[in-house]
Amino acid sequence: MPRRRPAQLRADSIYRRPLDGSTSVISGLSARGLKAIAYLERTRLWNQAVFDALRTWSWFVRHPWHRLWDPTAGCGVMECCPNPPELRWILDVAVAVLPPTDARTLRKQIAALDELW
């Protein structure tokens, strides 16, 4: 099989500059784990989806009214009126695509937040 030209490789790689900061950077995760999240965000979610979900969940569980959450109210914007099942879905998907060690690290971060509920 002939070698492909570097420019062609660069052009068709979905992994192109996966760690350029446009996708989530979660503290404690390995470069491999961050690449898995970058791939997830570029193919299935959106840039920063996992970081936003983690940050929003962290804010939400600390909010004094979080237990009064009403699924029928709110504007639907994640940062303004977060929908807990949606946040948890994003975090669960992120855990599922991570290599085992990183999955454990992220699960621990989420569990620490859950303790605040």
Which residues here bind Zn ion, judged by CB under 5 A? 75, 80-81
Amino acid at 24: S
Q: Give the whole-angstrom CA distance, residue 41 versus residue 111.
A: 22
Taking the complex as a whole, how short is the minimal distance between the CB of residue 4 and Zn ion, in angstroms? 48
Q: Give the whole-angstrom CA distance, residue 39 versus residue 19.
A: 10
Which stretches within the chain are classed as H helix?
A: 6-12, 31-43, 49-62, 84-97, 100-114
Choose between 20 and 79: whose C-beta lies nearer to Zn ion.
Answer: 79
Choose between 80 and 111: whose C-beta lies nearer to Zn ion.
Answer: 80
Taking the complex as a whole, how short is the minimal distance between the CB of residue 64 and Zn ion, in angstroms? 17
Q: Give the whole-angstrom CA distance, residue 70 versus residue 67.
A: 9
Choose between 81 and 116: whose C-beta lies nearer to Zn ion.
Answer: 81
Choose between 24 and 56: whose C-beta lies nearer to Zn ion.
Answer: 56
Q: How many CA atoms lie within 13 A of 16 on its CB side?
A: 9
Taking the complex as a whole, how short is the minimal distance between the CB of residue 37 and Zn ion, in angstroms? 26
Taking the complex as a whole, how short is the minimal distance between the CB of residue 59 and Zn ion, in angstroms? 13
